Structure 1
C-alpha cells in the first residue's frame, strides 16, 4: 500500500507561535469571514463548517507557510492557534498533479486520521497501523513524518484510512495529501507541522463541526474570482 504522495517534512519542528495569520487594519476586518481569503475560496467553505484550518503559503514557489486554526462562534470566526509549517517543496498549484512537488490550492474537507502512533484522543476516525511508517531508506529525519496524519480530502474516498490508495480522479491528479509531522523542509504535496501542533489539531478537530482546510499561497487565497 502506498504510504503517501508526501516526501515529508522535522519531527518537533519549530515551536508553536501565536502569530502568523494575515493581518489587516482592524476597521477592515469582517469577523464573519476567514481573514486573507477572498470570495473565490470563501464561497467554497461549507455553510455548516465551524472549524477551518487555514494554510497561508508564503509565496507561490515557497515551501514555507503558516497554519491558523479558526473556530466559528455564532456567525463569527475566532482565531484559536497558529503554527509555522511547510508545504510542497516547489510551492503551490491550482492544478496539482502527481509528482509536481506542489501543494494543491483549494478548500478540502478533513474527515479521517491515522498514523504509526496510538490515537492521541481525536474525535476523527483514526487508523493506527505500522503501514504508515516512512520507508527506512528515506533520510532518518523523515522517519517520524507519519506518526500522526490527518487526510486532506483531495482525490480520495472519504471514510477510508488516510493511506487508502484509491484515487477517484485518477493517478495523474495525485493524492495521499495529508497534514502530518514536520521534518524542517518542504514536502511532496502535504502540509507539515510540529508534533505538538498535530496533537492539538487531532484533539481539537471534531467531525460534528465539519472541519475543512483552506490552503494556498497568500496571493491566490486573496483572489476574489
Structure 2
C-alpha cells in the first residue's frame, strides 16, 4: 500500500492546495456571479516529508515527480484514496493518506470506471484507425479516461495521450466524458477561467467571444478545459456546444462487402513493397467499428498483378476465410480448427489432381511437390480461400500466418496479433479479407 511504503521510504510530506479567491474581473466579464469574491474553502497540505506524484490513481502507475511537506496542492478531484492534482502543468495523483484537507468542500468523485473488454486493444495516437498504434491494453485493465470523441475514448497511457475504441471498453458509473466531436465556442464578451468548478475558485485568466475551447469534461454547470497548458474551468452558461461529424472509416465507402460483418483489410503503399498494414473492422449495430491495427508483411516481391505459382507475390482481391490451423491446441477461435501433424502438407504441384489442397504424407505418387505444414510460421494461422477452383499454376497455399520478415505469397504478422485475430473472427459474421494497394481500394 502506498501509505505504508511511504512511511518507511519517505517521512511524511504535506501538500496544501489553496483554491484561491475569485477576484472580480473587469466590466463585461461573465460567468455565474463572477462579480463577487469568494474565499477558498479547502486547502490541501502534504503531511509526508516527500510524497510521490504518480501518473494514475494507484501505486502500479509510474512516478512523474514528488511534492514535499507543507506544499500546497491544486486538487481537481478524488478517486478512492487518491487525489487527482494539477502538477507542473500535468495531471498527477497522490495518496490522500498523506494529504491534510482543511475545510468543508470535498472535490468531486471520479465515479466512472472504464474497463477493457477485448483480449487486446490498440492504443492509438488519435481518434481513428488512420492513426498509429502506440501500444495496447488488455482485458480487465482499468483506463484513465479524459474524454470521448465519437466512438473513441481519449486516455492517459503511460504518461502520454492515447485513444481507444469505446466499443471494447465497459464504463460503469454515472459520469460520461464529453464528446470531442463537439465544438465549444465562447458566447460572452469576456469569460473568466477559474482554478476550480465554481465561483469560489480564483480566476487564472479569461477567454473572449468566439474563442474555441478544448473541453476535457463537464462538472455540473462548469466545463473543465485545457487553458494555456493548465487546467481551468469556465461556466457552461456562456459556452455554445455544437456537434461535428465523426471521421469516416475506410470500410464505410466499400460497396462489395455484402453480408460481411467482419473485415480484415491488408493494404500496402504500392505493388512492390513487402510491408503491409493490417486492420480489422466489425459492424456493430449497423455501424462499422475498427478493432485492431498491426504491421504485417506480404510476399517477398509484394502484391501480384496476376498471381502465379512460385512468384513470391501475395494475391490481391476479396476472399472468404477458411479453416484455422496451428501446431498447438485451438487458441480460442470460433473458426473450424485443425491441429497440424508432422505428416501434414499442402500440395503445390500444379499437375496433381490434389493441387491446392491439404493432404498427408506419404505422397505415394499423388504429387511431386508439397509444402510442409509443420513449421514455426504455421504455429497459428488460417486459410485464405484463394484459387478455390484450383486452377493449375494460379497459386496455392495462401495463408494468413505468423511472420515478420516476408512470405512466399501469404500474409503474415506477429504471433500475438494472429492469435488475437483468430479469437476475434466469428464465422457467423461472414468475415472476409481484402488485400490491395491503397491506390486501388476504390475497387471494393
Q: Same fold (TM over 0.5)?
A: yes
Q: Give how far 1:88 is off.
A: 1.1
Q: Give how far 1:65 is off.
A: 0.5
- 1:44 has 2:283 as partner: no
Identify, as 1 or 2, the structure richer in strand.
Answer: 2
- 1:72 has 2:72 as partner: no
1:133/1:143 contact within 8 Å kept: no
Identify, as 1 or 2, the structure richer in helix.
Answer: 1
Structure 2: unaligned runs, 5 residues or longer: 1-120, 132-243, 347-373
Q: Alignment length, in residue pairs?
A: 181
Where 2:263 maps in the other structure, the secondary structure is strand
Match of 1:53 among 244, 260, 264: 264
- The alpha-carbon distance between structure 1 residues 155 and 56, as it changes in their structure 2 partners (threshold 3 A), is same
Structure 1: unaligned runs, 5 residues or longer: 1-15, 135-141, 157-167
Please, what TM-score do these two structures have when normalized by structure 1?
0.71
Where 2:376 maps in the other structure, the secondary structure is coil
Segment of structure 1 superposing worse, 169-178 or 142-151? 142-151
Residues 172-217 of structure 1 deviation map (CA, whole Å, 9 limit, x = unaligned)? 11021111001x2111111101111111111110000111001112
Match of 1:87 among 290, 294, 298: 298
Q: How large is the RMSD of aligned CA atoms in angstroms?
A: 2.7
- The alpha-carbon distance between structure 1 residues 75 and 89, as it changes in their structure 2 partners (threshold 3 A), is same
1:102/1:189 contact within 8 Å kept: yes
Instruction: List structure 1 runs of 4+ shifted beyond 2 angstroms.
Output: 16-23, 26-31, 131-134
CA–CA separation in structure 1 for the residues paired with 2:294 and 2:245? 25
- 1:125 has 2:346 as partner: no
Please, what TM-score do these two structures have when normalized by structure 2?
0.38
Segment of structure 1 superposing worse, 204-213 or 123-132? 123-132
Residues 7-56 of structure 1 deviation map (CA, whole Å, 9 limit, x = unaligned)? xxxxxxxxx96559546xx969445x516xx6xxx3332x2111101111
CA–CA separation in structure 1 for the residues paired with 2:245 and 2:268? 25
- The alpha-carbon distance between structure 1 residues 60 and 76, as it changes in their structure 2 partners (threshold 3 A), is same
- Alignment-derived partner of residue 220 in structure 1: 440
1:133/1:144 contact within 8 Å kept: no
CA–CA separation in structure 1 for the residues paired with 2:402 and 2:425? 16
